[in-house]
Structure 1
Amino acid sequence: MKKIEFNDIAPHLIVTDVVASAEFYKDSLGFDFNRFWGEPPNFVILFRGSVQLMLSQDSIKAPQPLQNDRFDVYIWLNQGIDQLFDEYKQKEIEIIEPLETTFFQMQQFLIKDNNGYILCFGQEV
Protein backbone atom coordinates (compact mmCIF):
# COMPACT_ATOMS: atom_id res chain seq x y z
CA MET A 1 0.00 0.00 0.00
CA LYS A 2 1.35 3.40 -0.99
CA LYS A 3 2.09 5.77 1.87
CA ILE A 4 -0.03 8.94 1.69
CA GLU A 5 2.13 12.05 1.64
CA PHE A 6 1.34 15.28 3.45
CA ASN A 7 1.77 18.52 1.53
CA ASP A 8 1.50 21.34 4.06
CA ILE A 9 0.93 22.27 7.69
CA ALA A 10 -0.74 25.27 9.30
CA PRO A 11 -0.13 25.95 12.99
CA HIS A 12 -3.23 27.02 14.92
CA LEU A 13 -2.75 29.65 17.62
CA ILE A 14 -5.33 30.83 20.17
CA VAL A 15 -5.35 34.64 20.48
CA THR A 16 -7.16 37.18 22.65
CA ASP A 17 -8.32 39.39 19.74
CA VAL A 18 -8.35 37.80 16.28
CA VAL A 19 -8.81 41.11 14.42
CA ALA A 20 -5.97 42.89 16.24
CA SER A 21 -3.75 39.83 15.85
CA ALA A 22 -4.44 39.54 12.12
CA GLU A 23 -3.67 43.23 11.69
CA PHE A 24 -0.39 42.78 13.62
CA TYR A 25 0.63 39.88 11.38
CA LYS A 26 -0.32 41.89 8.29
CA ASP A 27 1.16 45.28 9.18
CA SER A 28 4.18 44.13 11.19
CA LEU A 29 5.10 40.69 9.84
CA GLY A 30 3.99 41.00 6.21
CA PHE A 31 1.30 38.30 6.18
CA ASP A 32 -1.98 38.67 4.30
CA PHE A 33 -5.50 37.35 4.81
CA ASN A 34 -8.68 37.33 2.77
CA ARG A 35 -11.42 37.27 5.36
CA PHE A 36 -12.51 36.57 8.91
CA TRP A 37 -14.97 33.86 9.91
CA GLY A 38 -17.63 34.21 12.60
CA GLU A 39 -19.76 37.09 13.81
CA PRO A 40 -18.15 38.70 15.63
CA PRO A 41 -14.92 37.57 13.91
CA ASN A 42 -13.21 34.68 15.71
CA PHE A 43 -11.07 32.92 13.07
CA VAL A 44 -8.67 33.87 10.28
CA ILE A 45 -6.15 32.13 8.02
CA LEU A 46 -3.01 34.17 7.40
CA PHE A 47 -0.56 33.50 4.59
CA ARG A 48 2.79 34.70 3.34
CA GLY A 49 4.07 32.78 0.34
CA SER A 50 3.21 29.12 0.97
CA VAL A 51 3.24 29.52 4.77
CA GLN A 52 -0.13 29.59 6.52
CA LEU A 53 -1.08 30.29 10.13
CA MET A 54 -4.55 29.93 11.65
CA LEU A 55 -5.63 32.22 14.48
CA SER A 56 -8.70 31.64 16.65
CA GLN A 57 -10.22 33.83 19.30
CA ASP A 58 -11.67 31.78 22.12
CA SER A 59 -13.64 33.16 25.05
CA ILE A 60 -12.77 30.13 27.19
CA LYS A 61 -9.15 29.37 26.26
CA ALA A 62 -6.45 32.00 26.62
CA PRO A 63 -3.32 32.15 24.47
CA GLN A 64 -0.77 29.66 25.80
CA PRO A 65 2.63 30.45 24.33
CA LEU A 66 5.48 28.23 25.48
CA GLN A 67 7.10 29.64 28.60
CA ASN A 68 10.69 28.56 28.06
CA ASP A 69 13.54 29.10 25.64
CA ARG A 70 11.75 27.30 22.79
CA PHE A 71 9.56 28.62 20.01
CA ASP A 72 5.91 28.05 19.13
CA VAL A 73 6.28 28.19 15.33
CA TYR A 74 9.29 27.63 13.03
CA ILE A 75 9.18 29.18 9.56
CA TRP A 76 11.73 28.09 6.94
CA LEU A 77 12.99 30.53 4.32
CA ASN A 78 14.80 29.67 1.09
CA GLN A 79 16.51 33.06 0.93
CA GLY A 80 16.42 36.59 2.31
CA ILE A 81 16.74 35.98 6.05
CA ASP A 82 19.10 38.96 6.46
CA GLN A 83 16.60 41.23 4.74
CA LEU A 84 13.68 39.88 6.80
CA PHE A 85 15.61 40.35 10.04
CA ASP A 86 16.43 43.96 9.08
CA GLU A 87 12.78 44.57 8.12
CA TYR A 88 11.50 43.35 11.48
CA LYS A 89 14.20 45.27 13.35
CA GLN A 90 13.19 48.50 11.59
CA LYS A 91 9.54 47.86 12.46
CA GLU A 92 10.62 47.44 16.11
CA ILE A 93 9.27 43.91 16.37
CA GLU A 94 10.35 42.39 19.69
CA ILE A 95 13.40 40.30 18.86
CA ILE A 96 14.00 37.48 21.33
CA GLU A 97 17.21 36.19 19.72
CA PRO A 98 19.15 38.04 17.01
CA LEU A 99 20.15 36.55 13.69
CA GLU A 100 22.85 33.94 14.26
CA THR A 101 24.22 30.75 12.75
CA THR A 102 23.45 27.61 14.73
CA PHE A 103 25.59 24.50 15.20
CA PHE A 104 23.24 22.70 12.78
CA GLN A 105 24.05 25.20 10.00
CA MET A 106 20.91 27.32 10.02
CA GLN A 107 20.77 31.09 10.21
CA GLN A 108 17.85 31.95 12.43
CA PHE A 109 16.27 34.56 14.67
CA LEU A 110 13.33 34.61 17.07
CA ILE A 111 10.62 37.23 17.55
CA LYS A 112 7.60 37.61 19.83
CA ASP A 113 4.15 38.36 18.41
CA ASN A 114 1.43 40.49 20.02
CA ASN A 115 0.08 37.48 21.98
CA GLY A 116 3.44 36.34 23.34
CA TYR A 117 3.99 33.51 20.85
CA ILE A 118 7.60 33.01 19.77
CA LEU A 119 8.21 32.65 16.03
CA CYS A 120 11.56 31.39 14.76
CA PHE A 121 12.63 32.16 11.19
CA GLY A 122 15.40 30.02 9.72
CA GLN A 123 17.38 29.52 6.53
CA GLU A 124 20.08 27.01 5.64
CA VAL A 125 23.61 28.41 5.56
Structure 2
Amino acid sequence: MKVNKLTPNFEVKDIRKTVEFYQSVLGFTLVMAVPETQDGIEQSFADGKEYVYALVSKDNVEMMFQRTESFKRDVFFAKDLSISASVSFYMEIEGVDSFYEHIKSEGLNPTELKTAWYGMREFYLTDNNGYILGFAEKSAE
Protein backbone atom coordinates (compact mmCIF):
# COMPACT_ATOMS: atom_id res chain seq x y z
CA MET A 1 0.00 0.00 0.00
CA LYS A 2 1.27 3.46 -0.89
CA VAL A 3 -0.04 6.41 1.13
CA ASN A 4 -0.24 9.57 -0.96
CA LYS A 5 -1.68 12.07 1.49
CA LEU A 6 -3.39 12.43 4.87
CA THR A 7 -6.18 14.98 5.16
CA PRO A 8 -7.95 15.24 8.53
CA ASN A 9 -11.73 15.52 8.48
CA PHE A 10 -12.97 17.43 11.53
CA GLU A 11 -16.50 17.01 12.83
CA VAL A 12 -17.78 20.54 13.53
CA LYS A 13 -21.00 22.23 14.61
CA ASP A 14 -20.88 25.19 12.23
CA ILE A 15 -19.01 25.08 8.91
CA ARG A 16 -19.03 28.83 8.29
CA LYS A 17 -17.75 29.76 11.78
CA THR A 18 -15.05 27.08 11.60
CA VAL A 19 -13.81 28.24 8.20
CA GLU A 20 -13.83 31.87 9.40
CA PHE A 21 -11.62 30.85 12.37
CA TYR A 22 -9.14 29.01 10.15
CA GLN A 23 -9.07 31.90 7.65
CA SER A 24 -8.78 34.83 10.04
CA VAL A 25 -6.59 33.30 12.73
CA LEU A 26 -4.51 30.71 10.87
CA GLY A 27 -4.44 32.09 7.31
CA PHE A 28 -6.12 29.17 5.53
CA THR A 29 -8.07 29.63 2.28
CA LEU A 30 -11.46 28.15 1.47
CA VAL A 31 -11.08 25.71 -1.44
CA MET A 32 -14.65 24.43 -1.65
CA ALA A 33 -17.89 24.10 0.28
CA VAL A 34 -20.94 21.88 -0.06
CA PRO A 35 -24.31 23.45 0.79
CA GLU A 36 -26.88 21.76 3.00
CA THR A 37 -28.85 20.78 -0.11
CA GLN A 38 -25.79 18.83 -1.33
CA ASP A 39 -26.63 19.83 -4.89
CA GLY A 40 -23.22 21.11 -5.88
CA ILE A 41 -19.81 22.41 -4.87
CA GLU A 42 -19.13 26.09 -4.27
CA GLN A 43 -15.85 28.00 -4.03
CA SER A 44 -17.23 30.63 -1.64
CA PHE A 45 -19.99 30.98 0.92
CA ALA A 46 -23.29 32.45 -0.25
CA ASP A 47 -25.39 34.62 2.05
CA GLY A 48 -28.30 32.81 3.63
CA LYS A 49 -26.97 29.31 2.92
CA GLU A 50 -25.95 26.67 5.42
CA TYR A 51 -23.14 24.23 4.61
CA VAL A 52 -22.38 20.61 5.53
CA TYR A 53 -18.77 20.40 4.32
CA ALA A 54 -15.78 22.59 3.52
CA LEU A 55 -12.18 22.07 2.47
CA VAL A 56 -9.51 24.63 3.39
CA SER A 57 -5.81 24.77 2.55
CA LYS A 58 -2.62 26.59 3.42
CA ASP A 59 0.68 25.83 1.72
CA ASN A 60 0.86 22.00 1.56
CA VAL A 61 -1.82 21.32 4.20
CA GLU A 62 -5.49 20.61 3.60
CA MET A 63 -8.20 20.19 6.23
CA MET A 64 -11.79 19.10 5.81
CA PHE A 65 -14.70 20.16 8.01
CA GLN A 66 -17.98 18.25 8.08
CA ARG A 67 -21.06 19.24 10.05
CA THR A 68 -21.93 16.92 12.95
CA GLU A 69 -25.06 15.22 11.63
CA SER A 70 -23.48 14.63 8.22
CA PHE A 71 -20.23 13.36 9.77
CA LYS A 72 -21.98 10.94 12.14
CA ARG A 73 -24.11 9.62 9.27
CA ASP A 74 -21.04 9.05 7.06
CA VAL A 75 -18.65 7.81 9.78
CA PHE A 76 -20.64 5.28 11.79
CA PHE A 77 -17.84 4.78 14.32
CA ALA A 78 -18.19 8.41 15.44
CA LYS A 79 -21.87 8.02 16.33
CA ASP A 80 -21.35 8.10 20.12
CA LEU A 81 -18.14 10.16 20.24
CA SER A 82 -17.91 13.81 21.23
CA ILE A 83 -16.38 16.48 19.03
CA SER A 84 -12.60 16.80 19.48
CA ALA A 85 -12.19 13.32 20.98
CA SER A 86 -8.62 12.76 22.15
CA VAL A 87 -6.55 13.76 19.14
CA SER A 88 -4.25 16.66 18.34
CA PHE A 89 -3.04 17.97 15.01
CA TYR A 90 0.66 18.85 14.96
CA MET A 91 1.87 21.19 12.21
CA GLU A 92 5.49 21.95 11.47
CA ILE A 93 5.67 25.60 10.37
CA GLU A 94 8.21 28.33 9.69
CA GLY A 95 8.26 31.39 11.95
CA VAL A 96 6.78 29.86 15.09
CA ASP A 97 7.81 32.81 17.30
CA SER A 98 6.04 35.45 15.22
CA PHE A 99 3.04 33.16 14.70
CA TYR A 100 2.82 32.70 18.48
CA GLU A 101 2.68 36.48 18.92
CA HIS A 102 -0.04 36.66 16.25
CA ILE A 103 -2.11 34.03 18.08
CA LYS A 104 -1.80 35.94 21.35
CA SER A 105 -2.80 39.19 19.60
CA GLU A 106 -5.98 37.42 18.40
CA GLY A 107 -6.97 37.02 22.06
CA LEU A 108 -6.48 33.25 22.08
CA ASN A 109 -4.94 31.42 25.02
CA PRO A 110 -2.13 29.20 23.70
CA THR A 111 0.18 27.12 25.85
CA GLU A 112 3.61 28.54 26.61
CA LEU A 113 5.95 28.65 23.61
CA LYS A 114 8.85 26.40 24.59
CA THR A 115 11.53 24.12 23.22
CA ALA A 116 10.67 20.48 23.88
CA TRP A 117 13.19 17.79 24.77
CA TYR A 118 13.03 16.50 21.18
CA GLY A 119 14.26 19.80 19.73
CA MET A 120 11.04 21.40 18.51
CA ARG A 121 10.02 24.92 19.53
CA GLU A 122 6.26 24.56 19.92
CA PHE A 123 2.94 25.61 21.39
CA TYR A 124 -0.64 24.38 21.37
CA LEU A 125 -4.05 26.01 21.21
CA THR A 126 -7.64 24.92 20.71
CA ASP A 127 -9.72 25.96 17.73
CA ASN A 128 -13.31 27.18 17.98
CA ASN A 129 -14.56 23.55 18.14
CA GLY A 130 -12.14 22.42 20.85
CA TYR A 131 -9.66 20.60 18.59
CA ILE A 132 -6.06 20.75 19.81
CA LEU A 133 -3.68 22.29 17.26
CA GLY A 134 0.08 22.16 17.73
CA PHE A 135 2.52 24.45 15.91
CA ALA A 136 6.24 23.73 15.88
CA GLU A 137 9.54 24.63 14.29
CA LYS A 138 12.89 22.88 14.64
CA SER A 139 14.85 24.75 17.29
CA ALA A 140 18.03 26.56 16.26
CA GLU A 141 19.60 25.65 19.62
Q: TM-score, normalised by structure 2?
A: 0.74
What is the deviation of 1:13?
0.7
Q: How does 1:27-38 map to 2 (within 5 A)?
A: 27-38=24-35
Q: Pick from 81, 85, 88: which aligns with 1:72? A: 88
Q: Does 1:114 align with 2:128?
A: yes
Q: Pick from 76, 80, 103: which aligns with 1:88? A: 103
What is the deviation of 1:27?
1.2
User: Considering only aligned residues, what root-mean-square deviation do their CA atoms show, in Å?
Assistant: 1.9
Q: Does 1:8 align with 2:5?
A: yes
How many Å separate the matches in 2 of 1:36 and 1:119? 22
Q: Can you list the C-alpha shifts for 1:7-58, whole angstroms capped at 9, x where unaligned?
A: 4321111000011111111112211113311324111111111111111002
Structure 1 segments, 4+ long, off by >4 Å, are 60-63
How many Å separate the matches in 1 of 2:68 and 2:117? 39
Gaps of 5+ in 2: 37-49, 73-78
How many Å separate the matches in 2 of 1:43 and 1:93? 25
How many Å separate the matches in 2 of 1:87 and 1:63? 29
What is the deviation of 1:124?
0.9
How many Å separate the matches in 2 of 1:101 and 1:66? 26
Query: Which residue in 2 is equivalent to 1:47?
Result: 57
Q: Which structure: larger Rg?
A: 2
Q: Does 1:98 align with 2:117?
A: no
Query: Which residue in 2 is equivalent to 1:25?
Result: 22
**Residue identity in the other structure for 2:66:** S
The answer on whether the counterparts of 2:12 and 2:68 sit within 8 Å (CA) in structure 1 is yes
State the SS of the aligned residue for 1:10.
coil
- Structure with greater strand share of residues: 1
How many Å separate the matches in 1 of 2:9 and 2:32? 16
**Residue identity in the other structure for 2:129:** N
How many Å separate the matches in 1 of 2:130 and 2:120? 24
How many Å separate the matches in 2 of 1:56 and 1:16? 8
